[in-house]
Amino acid sequence: MLKRFHIDTETVLYGVIGRPVSHSLSPVMHNRAFAKVGLNSIYLAFDVTDISSALAGIRGLGLKGASITIPHKVTALSFLDEIDGKAQQIGAINTIVNHQGNLRGYNSDCYGAVKALTAKTTLWEKKVALIGAGGAARAVGFGLLWEGARITVFNRSIKEGENLAKDMGVNFCPLAEFAQDSHQIIVNTTSVGMSPNTQAMPIAPSLLAKEMVVMDIVYNPLRTELLRAAKKAGCTTVDGVDMFVYQGVAQFEKWTGIKAPVKVMRKAVLEVLQ
How far is it, in rounded angstroms, from Cα 235 to Cα 219? 18
State the Cα angle at 104 between 43 and 255, rounded to 5°: 40
On whether the CB atoms of residues 190 and 214 are closer than 8 A, the answer is: no
Alpha carbon distance 244, 272 (integer Å) = 14
C-alpha to C-alpha distance for 211 and 32, rounded to whole angstroms: 38
Give the end-to-end CA distance of the chain in Å, rounded to a whole number: 22
- Check: CB of residue 56 under 8 Å from CB of residue 4: no
* Alpha-carbon span 104 to 82, nearest angstrom: 5
d(C-alpha 74, C-alpha 135), whole Å:
6
Contact 26, 15 (CB under 8 A): no
Written as one string, the DSSP assignment of 195-245 is: TT-TT--SS-GGG--TT-EEEE---SSSS-HHHHHHHHTT-EEE-HHHHHH
Q: How far apart are CA 129 and CA 136, in angstroms?
A: 14
Alpha-carbon gap, residue 111 to 8, rounded angstroms: 34
Q: Which of 99, 41, 107 is nearest to 69 (CA)?
A: 107
Which residue in the list 64, 73, 126, 231 is annotated as catalytic? 73
Let me know if 3 is a catalytic residue.
no
Supply the residues annotated as catalytic: 73
